[in-house]
């Protein structure tokens, strides 16, 4: 689940790893067309959206991954259809993985209440205010919720996400 303004590497590396593991990966976004990746504050590449939130049915997916970046999660958490889409996954016990600022989306749902989680340090207060116990670690998994802090944590993040997906099969 991604909107324009996402941290490019936080989408492309997980997408590549999942595809290499045999997963079908779908880019779901708030609008049709293309979304703009970012390399920190600089524009990166554009990517085609596969399905809009209006077209996507969460029951058709095994897991959800939310990359960070500043604008991406802010748009997603401000879009009721996006938070409802995300809510389906944690309600169904499916893996929900969010990295960097991605947990902002989860802060706008009940997903983090009573869970341990991490994020980019700048949104630590938001994670805590959403009811989570903040843990400063490269990856934190609490049940079906998987969170990481930054691009450097991507290897550990992907190990936990793939492990969670395999456990559901």
Q: Is residue 57 classed exposed, middle or buried when 0-12, 13-18 and 19+ CB atoms within 10 A define those classes?
A: exposed
Whether 101 is catalytic is: yes
Q: What are the two backbone dihedrals, phi and then psi, of residue 127, each rounded to the nearest 5 degrees?
A: -65, -45
SS3 99: strand
Q: Which of 40, 88, 100, 107 is catalytic?
A: 100
Annotated catalytic residue 88 = no
Query: Could you tell me the maximum CA-CA distance found in the chain, to the nearest angstrom?
Result: 39
The total number of residues shown for the chain amounts to 169
Residues 6+ apart with CB under 8 A from 9: 39, 151, 154
Residue indicated by tokens 């691009």:
151
Active site members: 100-101
């Amino acid at each position: 689940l991604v909107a324009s303004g996402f941290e490019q590497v936080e989408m492309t590396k997980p997408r590549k790893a999942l595809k290499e593991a045999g997963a079908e990966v779908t880019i779901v976004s708030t609008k049709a067309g293309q979304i703009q990746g970012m390399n920190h504050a600089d524009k990166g590449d554009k990517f085609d959206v596969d399905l809009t939130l209006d077209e996507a049915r969460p029951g058709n997916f095994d897991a959800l991954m939310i990359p960070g970046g500043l604008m991406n999660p802010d748009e997603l958490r401000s879009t009721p259809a996006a938070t409802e889409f995300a809510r389906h996954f944690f309600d169904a016990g499916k893996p929900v993985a969010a990295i960097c600022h991605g947990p902002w989306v989860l802060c706008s749902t009940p997903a983090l209440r009573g869970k341990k989680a991490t994020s980019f340090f700048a949104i630590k207060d938001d994670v805590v205010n959403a009811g989570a116990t903040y843990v400063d670690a490269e990856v934190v998994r609490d049940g079906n919720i998987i969170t990481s802090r930054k691009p450097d944590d991507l290897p550990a993040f992907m190990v936990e996400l793939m492990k969670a997906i395999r456990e559901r099969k």
